[in-house]
Amino acid sequence: MSILCDHEIERLCKEQAMMLPYRSEQLNPASYDVRLGDQIMIESVATDQLILTPISGFTKENPWLLRAGQFCLACTEEIFNMPEDVAGHFALKSSRGREGYSHALSAYIDPGFHGSRLTLELHNIRQIHPIPLYPGLLIGQVVFQRMSDPPLVSYAVKGNYNNNETVRQSIWT
């Protein structure tokens, strides 16, 4: 497998809608920056389920605050349509990590994953201070790799999280 370079990522985004929306200013030499979407899921004392919480009204100047130690699920603004021979790996932007954000390790994007935003597991690892969340925040980047061959059974066929345009809790809960 080889990591895709900027012009190959751009070509796949423009010709095959690998990510929507595509913005050239988010393109890096070997990755693509992704933005935080407008919905999160947070814990509630009333239930063991996470509660869907829109954050669309929050901004950089007036953000929703993830409390110290708090966990949430969030989604990307971008919708992914992965080609059958391309996989992706999400990584938190280093600047976010330095601010106290942490991301769990479920960050792999299978070939054939389509029509969906990525669901992110965000955690504020700071001990005292909250960290801001708002739609459009550059939260991470995706590195894409071309596979040696397409898989025998695509995620488009067997995947559980296709066609999800919002943040999604595990299907097993």
Catalytic site positions: 121
C-alpha torsion sign, points 58, 61, 67, 68: positive
Output the 3-class SS for 22-37.
CCHHHECCCCEEEEEE
* 128 C-beta neighbours (distance < 10 Å), count: 8
- How many Å separate Cα 110 from the centre of its chain? 13
In the chain the first and final C-alpha atoms are separated, in Å, by 34
Residue 105 DSSP SS3: coil
74-95 burial code (b ≥16 CB/10 A, e <16): bbbbbbbbbbebbbbebebbee
